[in-house]
Structure 1
Amino acid sequence: MNRDERARRAYEGLMGVQAEKAFADVRAVSPQMYETVLEGAFGGPLARSELSRRERELASAAIVASLGGADRRLASHVRGALHQGVAPHELLALAEHVAVYAGFPRALNALDVVNEVLQEAGAPGQPALHRVQLADHETVVAQKGDHGPAVILSHSLGVDWRMWEPVMERLSQGRRVFAYDFRGHGGAAGAPRPFTMDDLARDMGGVLDAFDIDRAHVVGLSMGGGIAQTFAVRSPERIESLALLATTDQAFAAFEGRARSGEEDGMEAQIVPTLTRWFTAPALATNGWGVQYARELIRRFDPADWAAAWRAFKDVDVEGKLAGLQAPTLVLVGEEDYSTTPEVMSGVAERIPGSTYQVLPGTPHMQTLERPDLVADALDRFLPADR
């Protein structure tokens, strides 16, 4: 492979389009400039593997945005970043980052360019973010949709509301969808400790109260499912329906060990055991956005919040207490979930008479991050909507 071929291959790999098409105007005006740009940059340093293609496109977008005055080229690198799997909210965060180091005028200009490219690509808009004051701490609530039945989403231990982002656009069609950070997580990190499952259930009610919602369709995954069940036991009159994903109604013996490991071994030591419980081997190998997101949040987690959450979860006390729940209930399990297995989840379903039990093929514990399509399909069928 000669330098020209290597340059073309590198450009297409980075940007997702052919160099001849992208630089047609440059080539028509100056074949020498075309050759200089293509072979000098893309046949040289940009073809090397020391930085991943994803890292190179993020770096290129940040540099061009900081320089200013090159909106067309910035747009091409934003498209390239999307081609490399960079999420829309990461590109918006990049514009914020530029504001710190290159000033607000260039950052705001970059934000305009990013927004134009996202609209061109048909990317869904970002949820509205609300800061909500609860009884003893503040949290963040993300909202999609402004009409229809209210749906509240409670995430897994160790992440935050963005765990739900891959399904929120679909669920918000004809619904008001609220995803919030529960105690010790995301915008509610550092909330008073220790806390209990009853505290977490009260917080869920507090989020609903903040939006004047009396009754809601409650959806929870993993520890979020434990919170959802606890809320349903405490306040059944507020439950329109209940969807339990990859969860349990009784504690596992391992919960206290995970709490102690966070305190004694630190958060780096939690990454391998957690991610291998949460994702399939192919997902870990391809290392897409969901895996990267989960890894980064675990790495950044406060060990004290981590331990407090596991100790709250180990006292979950809802087994058999939803037998009289009148609301429709969906129990959703991943076929390849080796944490809350189909055996565990079928037991949960059996203890809630009339519930619907569904197995998602090829799906691990972290359902929304690896198979959001299947989760969105199942929830969209289950939850009522104003169409």
Structure 2
Amino acid sequence: MTQITISDIDINYKIKGSGKPLLMIMGLSFSLLDWGKKFTEVLAKNYQLILFDNRDAGLTSPSPQPYSLVEMADDTAGLLDGLNIPKAHVFGVSMGGAIAQHFALKYPDKLDKLILGCTMAGGKCSQMGDISGVINVNLLDLLFTSTFIHSHRQELTDFLAKTTPLHSRDAALQRQLQAFASHDTYDTLSDIRATTLIITGDKDIAIPRSNSDLLATKISNAKLEIIADASHGFAYSNAEIIADLIRLFLK
């Protein structure tokens, strides 16, 4: 465990690989382990990955009070400052993609290229799907298609046995949910100037594809990639495909 104190919390982080910095922002409840070993190992061949646990998740300390996604973007910027990294590519998934939007808006000078995975603009113009699996710990159906589950059940069972104990629970999860619920960048997305790649799965039940379509129309310099037969956990189920898309985009 490696930690750095940023503002009022101790952030757990891990550096993997070498090359241009690529900051990875995880989604609601999950820890840095949820990226999966295969996906991070492939990306680490070309980039210096900065993996970390959001406040109230993983081995990062709990938050002493409620917060917003803007404050979580502040955590992200503080982590880069603490690591003496002036600028990085940023890849955020789900709630992490929402945090990445706020980072892009508030800290444009710290951002190179932006990647938004299975995320949303928030507010009244977005469509939230079924995220009950986070609360009742039915993560297989939340993250993966039935076909992928059927062919990888034991692997997924073993993976979740390692990752689930680090997920947010109780008051910590409620604070993250409240922060995510207040997310709304719809009216400011056109202010994002970074070249942006938007990725989503065509079978995502948590944050449906329509949200990525909206992001692609509102962010001026954005490209949309739809992953066939993929759900919310596409970075794990389609690791090589997603890694190839990212490497091509960041070239």
Choose 1 or 2 for highest CA Rg.
Answer: 1
> Structure 2 length as normaliser, TM-score?
0.88
Amino acid in structure 2 at the alignment position of 1:152: L
CA–CA distance in 2 between the matches of 1:351 and 1:229? 12
Q: Counterparts in 2 of 1:8-27, with a 5 A limit?
A: none
Q: 1:362 to 1:247 in 2, by over 3 A?
A: same
1:199 aligns with 2:71: yes
Cα deviation per residue 1:314-341 (whole Å; 9 max; x = unaligned)?
0112114131332210000112212222
CA–CA distance in 2 between the matches of 1:140 and 1:332? 26
Q: Does the CA contact (< 8 Å) of 2:2 and 2:14 recur in 1?
A: yes
Cα deviation per residue 1:258-278 (whole Å; 9 max; x = unaligned)?
7xx89xxxx8x6123x44222
Aligned equivalent of 1:152: 23
Using the TM superposition, give the Cα deviation of residue 283 of structure 1 relative to its aligned residue in structure 2, in angstroms.
3.2
Unaligned ranges ≥5, structure 1: 1-128
Q: 1:135 to 1:319 in 2, by over 3 A?
A: same
Aligned equivalent of 2:217: 350
Using the TM superposition, give the Cα deviation of residue 140 of structure 1 relative to its aligned residue in structure 2, in angstroms.
1.3
Q: Does the CA contact (< 8 Å) of 2:91 and 2:97 recur in 1?
A: yes
More helix by share: 1
1:163 aligns with 2:27: no
Aligned equivalent of 1:108: none
Cα deviation per residue 1:232-257 (whole Å; 9 max; x = unaligned)?
111112110100000011156869x9
Q: Counterparts in 2 of 1:135-284, with a 5 A limit?
A: 135-146=7-18, 148-164=19-35, 165-251=37-123, 270-272=136-138, 274-284=139-149
Out of 371-380 and 297-306, give the one that drifted further.
Answer: 297-306
Q: 1:254 to 1:222 in 2, by over 3 A?
A: closer
Aligned equivalent of 1:75: none
Aligned equivalent of 2:235: 368
CA–CA distance in 1 between the matches of 2:176 and 2:160? 16
Q: Counterparts in 2 of 1:5-84, with a 5 A limit?
A: none
> Percent sequence identity over matched residues?
24
Unaligned ranges ≥5, structure 2: none
CA–CA distance in 1 between the matches of 2:235 and 2:102? 22
Using the TM superposition, give the Cα deviation of residue 296 of structure 1 relative to its aligned residue in structure 2, in angstroms.
6.0
Q: 1:197 to 1:340 in 2, by over 3 A?
A: same
More strand by share: 2
| Count of residue pairs brought into register by the alignment | 246
Q: Does the CA contact (< 8 Å) of 1:279 and 1:370 recur in 2?
A: yes
| Larger relative contact order (Cα-Cα within 8 Å, sequence gap ≥ 6) | 2
Aligned equivalent of 1:117: none
Q: 1:314 to 1:229 in 2, by over 3 A?
A: same
CA–CA distance in 2 between the matches of 1:326 and 1:314? 25
Amino acid in structure 1 at the alignment position of 2:199: L
- SS of the residue aligned with 1:187? coil
> Structure 1 length as normaliser, TM-score?
0.59
